[in-house]
Amino acid sequence: MDVEHLIRSIPKAELHIHIEGSLEPELMFAIAKRNNVSLRYRSVEDLRRAYDFSDLQSFLDIYYEGAHVLRTERDFHDMTAAYLQRAQADNVTHAEMFFDPQTHTDRGIEFATVIDGIWSAMQDSPISTRLILCFLRHLSAESAMKTLETALPFKDRIVAVGLDSSEVGNPPSKFAAVFARARAEGFRAVAHAGEEGPPAYIREALDLLGVSRIDHGVRCLEDPAIVAELVAKKIPLTVCPLSNVKLRVFPSMKQHNIKELLARGLRVTINSDDPAYFGGYVVDNFLAVHRALGLSERDVRQLAQNSFDARFL
């Protein structure tokens, strides 16, 4: 079978997608107009030209500005519905979506407004879905704990907690107590680690946060002991190739280590991260890796199988 046809047609699960990062410029401008919110970019084209990032922080600055247009339950519904329709077109049959409530509650939006809008779109979706609440690691552990407590009345809608935002200088250990409380409440745990941060952050996420998956994790190869543990325990890595190149984790796709991760026996999955900002959804990520590094039919099938094996079902 032609590999590119297989990439497009094979069923896939997406496990690393920030729903706010799926907000395409066209929808961002439409919601801004609906809510009478001013953007500092004059057009969709001007905004897309700004998506030239030098590192994670330069992306986050624009990401948080884009999220500022989201004000109502309808806004969160429309954003989520748009992503799920796009995911279905890539034959994603299951999606586990991150959301960042602190991005919204810190500017006065009620937690219920955020989750109700996302949840309503999930109920209308043709694909199966799960929701993961992420804490913003550049904020305090106290803020994360408050967010967790606010989320408890909605715990039947949330399968896991996660950790995202600025990695360097914000180690997983900062949130050990929050994750202990979350696990005690019955949540699974994941965390961004080993993207810009060192392999030691992966170690902390495993030992101190009790995570079931590592989001990104591409720097694990710098520590053979961590690689051995990830392989032995079958801990999945939710890798986002286009994101890694866009944020300069790797200088180009040809330098990406995903083929080596696969060869080492790691449970690697391919995901889109923040597709509106990084230039592609799941199929685009698969195709970018294939065209730069060459994926065999066996590789594609293994990556797809890994995504289903790593689901929280």
pLDDT by residue, tens only, the chain of 313 residues: 699 999 999 999 999 999 999 999 999 999 999 999 998 888 999 888 888 888 888 888 888 888 999 999 999 999 999 999 999 999 999 999 999 999 999 999 999 999 999 999 999 998 999 999 999 999 999 999 999 999 999 999 999 999 999 999 999 999 999 999 999 999 999 999 999 999 999 999 999 999 999 999 999 999 999 999 999 999 999 999 999 999 999 999 999 999 999 999 999 999 999 999 998 999 999 999 999 999 999 999 999 999 999 999 8
For 184, residues 6+ apart whose C-beta sits below 8 A from its C-beta are: none
**Tell me, what's the pLDDT at 313?**
82
Q: In degrees rounded to 5, what are phi and psi of residue 94?
A: -150, 135
DSSP, collapsed to helix, strand or coil, labels residue 63 as helix
For 311, residues 6+ apart whose C-beta sits below 8 A from its C-beta are: 13, 15, 94, 96, 130
Is 45 part of the annotated catalytic residue set?
no
Q: What is the pTM of this model?
A: 0.96
Are 203 and 226 spatial neighbours (Cβ–Cβ below 8 Å)?
A: yes
Partners of 37 in beta bridges? none
Distance in angstroms (rounded) separating the CA atoms of residues 157 and 295: 36
**195, 196, 229, 297: the active-site residue:** 195
**Tell me, what's the pLDDT at 54?**
82
Q: From residue 149, give the alpha-carbon distance in Å to each of 57, 136, 171.
A: 28, 15, 22
* Structure-token match 């989520």, residue found: 80
